[in-house]
């Protein structure tokens, strides 16, 4: 990860969409999904017309609000712990992209340079609506070893006491199994409906598995010379924002994230600003301490360079970063893959990336749900286990688990 993207040339053709719901576009599985209802943003894609990045020449007039991207992708948390079927970093241009412009749906087709408008028209003519899944999902879960978690947290606290790092973010996996293959579109619809302020997403691996989620955290949102990011750390149950603001442990955890982000942005920025104190961000199932951070990027620096340098933030890895990452590779016990990596879009309109949180890897009737917690002095295995249980409830109802 980190090399410049190869610039290839593509063409695109757009027209108004004659489709009832964007999640119904087919045939075949979705290759990308990107949504944030609080911004009237809703995008679905089919197939892959290109990879790696490039420029699109439009063969038709664009609507007032052009499509997001049109490149979709991101990268893994740690190159040393990949998933089979998922690249360390991958960007794709869908063959077909449908989106909502705030007033009406639109649909576009893409192809390599030299593809004719007629060929793109044929590609759009082949799009058809797939029937939505209307049944219920019944699934069971296996929460993982509590004993392993306790040992991991205790070992992390010893390293904090020894001065190896101030903070480390430990994660675990919850295994879920359904009676039938998970209906991906229904899962996405449920996530989007429940988490209206979050970035809901789907990234398709080369092996056909789908990485889905609803992230509350922006890694980077960039337009012109401004780069915006979030510090989101410190967690409580809903309705306990007051105690969260008064928690020394959570304020210290949050401050470490803010300071770490500012340090990462410094070499790339003319100015870095943020409010002096966090606020409470209220989500469907939890509340977080939240600080927005804004940077004015130096001339000649790309937003993608800044995002890569910022990742992984102390909110998902720890601080100092190198020490936390080295310790996690040895002790976490599973491959994070794209969990806590980056997902989003890039193109002429800028770059938007979310931290890949509140997420699951879907594989037929099986799913892995990923949850984590920031460990600092004052953390306990019990309190952090409870925090991860709360976070899991962002995903589990969409997967058919309602009694966790």
Query: Of 73, 65, 121, which is closest to residue 94 (Cα–Cα)?
Result: 73
Q: Where are the beta strands (DSSP E) in 76-155?
A: 89-93, 96-100, 105-112, 128-129, 139-142
Torsion of CA 7, 11, 16, 19, to 10 degrees: -80
Query: Of 393, 344, 369, which is closest to residue 235 (Cα–Cα)?
Result: 393
CA atoms within 13 A on the CB side of 34: 28
Q: Measured between alpha carbons, how far is 236 from 246 in angstroms, rounded to an integer? A: 12
Measured over the CA atoms of residue 116, residue 120, residue 122 and residue 123, the dihedral's sign is: positive
Q: Measured between alpha carbons, how far is 188 from 191 in angstroms, rounded to an integer? A: 5
- Encoding tokens for residue 103? 């007033």
Torsion of CA 293, 298, 299, 300, to 10 degrees: -90
Backbone angles phi, psi at 375, to 5 degrees: -105, 125
Q: How far, in Å, are 237, 239, 289 from residue 281 at the CA level?
A: 11, 11, 6
Q: How far, in Å, are 52, 125, 132, 235, 349 from residue 364 at the CA level?
A: 27, 29, 17, 32, 35
Strand partners, 32: 45, 203
Q: Measured between alpha carbons, how far is 171 from 381 in angstroms, rounded to an integer? A: 12
Q: Where are the beta strands (DSSP E) in 121-242?
A: 128-129, 139-142, 167-178, 199-204, 210-215, 218-223, 226-237
Query: Of 91, 74, 70, which is closest to residue 355 (Cα–Cα)?
Result: 74
Where in the sequence numbering do the catalytic residues fall?
167, 217
């Amino acid at each position: 990860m980190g090399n410049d993207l190869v610039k290839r040339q593509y063409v695109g053709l757009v027209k108004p969409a004659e489709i009832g719901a964007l999640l119904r576009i087919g045939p075949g599985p979705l290759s990308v999904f990107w949504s944030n209802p609080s911004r009237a943003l809703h995008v679905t894609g089919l197939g892959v017309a290109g990879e790696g990045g490039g420029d699109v020449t439009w063969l038709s007039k664009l609507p007032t609000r052009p499509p997001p991207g049109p490149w979709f992708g991101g990268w893994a948390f740690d190159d040393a712990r990949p998933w089979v079927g998922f690249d360390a970093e991958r960007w794709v241009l869908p063959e077909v992209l449908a989106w909502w412009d705030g007033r009406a749906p639109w649909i576009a087709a893409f192809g390599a340079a030299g593809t004719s408008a007629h060929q793109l028209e044929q590609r759009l003519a082949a799009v058809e609506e797939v029937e939505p899944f209307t049944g219920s999902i019944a699934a069971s879960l296996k929460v993982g070893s509590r004993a392993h978690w306790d040992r991991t947290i205790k070992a992390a606290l010893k390293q904090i006491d020894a001065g190896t790092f101030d903070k480390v973010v430990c994660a675990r996996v919850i295994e879920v199994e359904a009676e039938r293959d998970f209906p991906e579109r229904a899962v996405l619809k449920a996530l989007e409906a429940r988490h209206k302020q979050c970035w809901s997403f789907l990234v398709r691996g080369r092996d056909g598995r789908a990485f889905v989620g609803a992230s509350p955290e922006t890694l980077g949102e960039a337009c012109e010379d401004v780069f915006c990011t979030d510090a989101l750390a410190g967690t409580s149950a809903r309705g306990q924002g007051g105690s969260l603001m008064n928690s020394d442990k959570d304020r210290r955890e949050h401050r470490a994230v803010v300071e770490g982000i500012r340090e990462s942005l410094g070499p790339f920025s003319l100015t870095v600003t943020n409010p002096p104190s966090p606020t409470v961000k209220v989500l469907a199932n939890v509340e977080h301490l939240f600080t927005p951070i804004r940077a004015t990027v130096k001339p000649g620096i790309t937003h993608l360079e800044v995002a890569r340098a910022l990742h992984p933030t102390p909110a998902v890895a720890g601080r100092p970063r190198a020490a936390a990452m080295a310790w996690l590779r040895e002790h976490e016990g599973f491959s994070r893959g794209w969990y806590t990596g980056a997902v989003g879009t890039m193109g002429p309109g800028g770059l938007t990336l979310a931290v890949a949180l509140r997420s699951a890897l879907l594989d037929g009737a099986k799913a892995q749900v990923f949850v984590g917690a920031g460990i600092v002095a004052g953390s306990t295995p019990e309190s952090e286990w409870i925090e991860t249980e709360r976070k899991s409830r962002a995903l589990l109802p969409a997967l058919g688990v309602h009694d966790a």
